Amino acid sequence: MSAVFTNGRFFVPQKNHASTETPHFANTMLVEKGTIMHVGDGQDVEIQAASTEGAAIHDLGGRIVLPGIVDGHMHLMLHGQSLAKVDLGNCRSLEDIRRELSAYCQANPNAPRVLARGWQQYTTGGAALASMIDDIDPRPIFIDSLDAHSTWCNTAALEELGVASMPDPAGGKIHRDSSGLPSGLLSEGATVHIAWPFLAESLSTVDKIATLRNAVKSYSAQGYTGVVEMAMDDNSWEALQLLRDLEHVPLHIAANWLITPDLDLQACLAQVDKAIDMRKKYSVEGSPDCHITGIKIICDGVVDSCTAALLKPYSNSHSVSPDQLMWATDVLDKVMERASNAGLQIALHAIGDAAIRQAVDGLEKIGSENKRHRIEHLELASAEDAQRLGKLGITASIQPVHSDPAGLRAWPTLLGEQRCGRAFPYTELLAGGATLALGSDSPTASHVPFNNWYSASTRRSATELDYIPPSILNSAVLPLATAIQAATSGAAYSTFSERKFGKLEKGLKADFVVMDMAWNADQLLESHVMQTWFDGKKVFDASV
């Protein structure tokens, strides 16, 4: 049956949209069998004919309607797990952290472990010792840093992991005290290779499915109809397929298989071959709503833990070392060549300017035009490299929610004024011709879309409204229309899906979201998702 959605403000970008803040809106949309058949005016012939023939009429009350949002960079299983963790995001000191953990422990005496998230390194002066939290509870305590690149453990957690006898994994570090015993912090590869797998495997199959189900529901409730998963592995993929066997999953899922560094080139290539095989089995043609699109490679860490790879030393006591680049360039080049030749997209995590240079150079060598290889984060791209992305056809995958100035308190000390002033050069990437794909990187940041768009279009804090950032954090803002397009059509383009969804356009899937919002960047945080529609069917209704 046909459906006419009327009395709405349907966002229909114009082709010359890039720098304008005067978006075009239609007032009516016709949907039939899950496909958009017309977007225009209520008096158009197509609308009148459908209404005469008995189409269902949906009056949207003048609300804004956007294409279904596509999270261009997220972690589905980790997001689901985070929903059940203690949120430390509002803690500003060790005392705050201890208070939140103690309250959780008292309220949940039967939980086998205490899992927390959102710790920001500056709140503890960069320290993360087991002794700082050992007396809170005898159970293992695992605390994810806000950026998810570090795990702070108490002694019980360290013993449960058995890290005392382990060597540092490739690209990671088990921090130790002067006697050589683990002191409490696992960073980068130690989190990815040790903490994440252990905690994932500690879940039963039923729990994993429930975790993913909750993740999907939370995404539908925020207007998402698609996600780009950025650290897929066997554990998460198996649970995801079991969920899809049990029920309809109202998300388009494009997954990138995580490739981890290894000193042995053949071991690295074997990981790529696994991803190639998985893509053949779960191709976009055979499994259009849940497929393997490419590989994810982490080239460096993050600024707050001083593991982002920089061309010049950090401004504090940290200095640049060769170990900051997680991959030897010759090995990385061969891995990328194998993947690209097999038709896999390549997604490279690169935050520091040295890692971004390595990523751009590597993609230039293998050729990126028409392949839509991508670089994730790009927080400290040099002016030169920001211009290179567009010329080389590299997608700029950005997460403006990470530019929230309240989360950058340590940056002036770590980076100095000049580099802070160049952080998050989104307008330079856009001016250089790069396609922007916007994501949240959940659970490292909120997946609420309005927070992301607010940070992108105002550069003010969505988490601490009264926070006044230092003037050196003054990167240019994106127009709201540009940010929203990066979160819809741009993210869809990044996975070759722009002819299926991402716009309110005839012939595309009827994936859309009804918003209670004003088209005003300053008022974004007052907005709410009212309805989410996937393939022409309502999958979320705020009134229910």
Instruction: Give just the sign of the alpha carbon dihedral 173, 177, 181, 182.
Output: negative
pLDDT of residue 475: 72
> Residue range 512-520: average pLDDT?
97
Q: The pTM is what?
A: 0.93
**Residue 492 pLDDT exceeds 60:** yes
Task: Summarize pLDDT for 426-476 with one digit per residue, the tens.
Answer: 999 999 999 999 999 999 999 999 999 999 999 999 999 999 888 887 777
Residues paired with residue 153 on neighbouring β-strands, in sequence order: 142
- Hey, what are 62's tokens? 């003048």
CB 172 within 8 A of CB 115: no
Task: Summarize pLDDT for 49-81 with one digit per residue, the tens.
Answer: 999 999 999 999 999 999 999 999 999 999 999
CB 325 within 8 A of CB 352: no
Find all residues with CB under 8 Å of 149, minimum gap 6, and list them.
187, 188, 191, 301, 302, 305, 307
d(CA 71, CA 84): 21
Q: Binning pLDDT at 50, 70 and 90, where does residue 239 land?
A: very high
**Residue 534 pLDDT exceeds 60:** yes
Closest to 324 (Cα-Cα) out of 363, 359, 349, 355: 355
d(CA 457, CA 426): 11
Q: b/e map of 176-196 (b: 16 or more CB within 10 Å)?
A: eeeeeebbbbbbbbbbbbbbb
d(CA 387, CA 59): 45
Q: Between 322 and 144, where is the model more confident?
A: 144
d(CA 207, CA 246): 14
Phi, psi of 275 (to 5 degrees): -65, -35
**Residue 520 pLDDT exceeds 80:** yes
d(CA 64, CA 78): 31
Length of the chain: 544
pLDDT of residue 18: 47
pLDDT of residue 17: 42
